[in-house]
């Protein structure tokens, strides 16, 4: 195989800093019997470390060239399973309980994280690296500028923890961004379980539809409510009609969803937009 040329379309930038690789794997808190799903192993700087500590490493890589490269270097390791597939379509159901580690390309970070949430019963902890600004969204709390729908969805089911920033100089090719690493640990029980998961996601997304507008205006525009109904359900939930979505806690969004569900003759939402 000739020299490997990264593909810009895949957002490929490979970690080359050994101490950072050590820190990421250490943060995963591995035990000898663990199974690890590695999303996008790249050239294997984390894979080699994972194989020393875990019982099984399933490395899912969309670029066949990298799968062939890792296969030639690590393919004889009994604990390694190389999968040439997009993580977005990979079926985790046969892996049992797993831990997850990987780098999220900045252009599809949100989609991959939502998929991980949807696969919740299969994983217990994840160490992920992404663009620093995206990490702000992941870790944001109510009242902050970065707080949004993704923050709400994650907080309901995970404990979130910032780990450290990773300068661009620690990657090749050098990206034009600073990266951040964070830890997600699934709660033993979610903060709550919505009666209608699709409606919950729709209400949260509606709330953040236009950040400069009030929650009442966003609910009216996105959910097809009349203004009086929007103000009524906010009052029932003890939420000021002038409030904006970024001020609401996760539990307040739950209460808001229940109030919307109780409205007589509620609109029919397109569930595909919440998936």
Q: Identify the CATH number of the domain in which residue 111 sits.
A: 3.40.50.150
Q: So what's the pLDDT on residue 9?
A: 54
* Number of separate domains in the chain: 2
Looking at the fold, whether 238 and 116 belong to one and the same domain comes out as no
Domain carrying residue 248 = 197-266
pTM of the predicted model, to two decimals? 0.90
Q: What is the percentage of the chain residues whose pLDDT exceeds 70?
A: 92
Answer yes or no: is pLDDT of 10 > 90: no
Mean pLDDT of 168-187: 94
Q: So what's the pLDDT on residue 173?
A: 87
pLDDT digits (tens, 9 = 90+) for 139-157: 999 999 999 999 999 999 9
Looking at the fold, whether 63 and 179 belong to one and the same domain comes out as yes
162 versus 211: which is more confidently predicted?
A: 162
Tell me, yes or no, whether 173 lies in a domain.
yes
- DSSP labels for 180-230? EEEEEEE-SS-S---S-HHHHHHHHHHHTSSTTS-HHHHHHHHH---HHHH
Provide the pLDDT confidence category of residue 8 given band limits of 50, 70 and 90.
low
Tell me, yes or no, whether 274 lies in a domain.
no
């Amino acid at each position: 195989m000739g020299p490997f040329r990264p593909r810009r379309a895949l957002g490929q930038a490979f970690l080359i800093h050994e101490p950072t690789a050590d820190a990421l794997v250490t943060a995963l808190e591995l035990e000898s019997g663990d199974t690890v799903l590695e999303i996008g192993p790249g050239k294997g700087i984390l894979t080699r470390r994972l194989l020393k500590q875990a019982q099984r490493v399933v490395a899912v890589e969309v670029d066949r060239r990298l799968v062939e490269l890792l296969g030639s270097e690590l393919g004889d390791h009994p604990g390694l399973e190389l999968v040439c597939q997009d993580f977005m379509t990979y079926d985790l159901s046969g892996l049992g309980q797993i831990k997850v580690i990987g780098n999220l390309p900045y252009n599809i970070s949100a989609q991959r994280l939502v998929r991980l949430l949807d696969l919740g019963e299969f994983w217990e902890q994840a160490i992920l690296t992404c663009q620093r600004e995206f990490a702000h969204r992941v870790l944001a709390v109510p009242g902050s500028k970065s707080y949004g729908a993704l923050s709400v969805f994650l907080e309901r089911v995970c404990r979130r923890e910032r780990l450290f920033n990773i300068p661009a100089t620690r990657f090749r090719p050098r990206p034009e961004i600073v990266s951040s690493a964070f830890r997600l640990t699934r709660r033993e029980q979610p903060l709550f379980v919505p009666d209608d998961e699709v409606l919950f996601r729709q209400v949260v997304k509606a709330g953040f539809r236009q950040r400069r507008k009030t929650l009442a205006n966003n609910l009216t525009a996105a959910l097809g409510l009349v203004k009086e109904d929007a103000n009524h359900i906010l009052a029932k939930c003890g939420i000021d009609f002038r409030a904006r979505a970024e001020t609401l806690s996760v539990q307040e969004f739950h209460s808001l969803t229940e109030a919307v569900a109780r409205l007589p003759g509620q609109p029919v939402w397109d569930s595909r937009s919440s998936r």
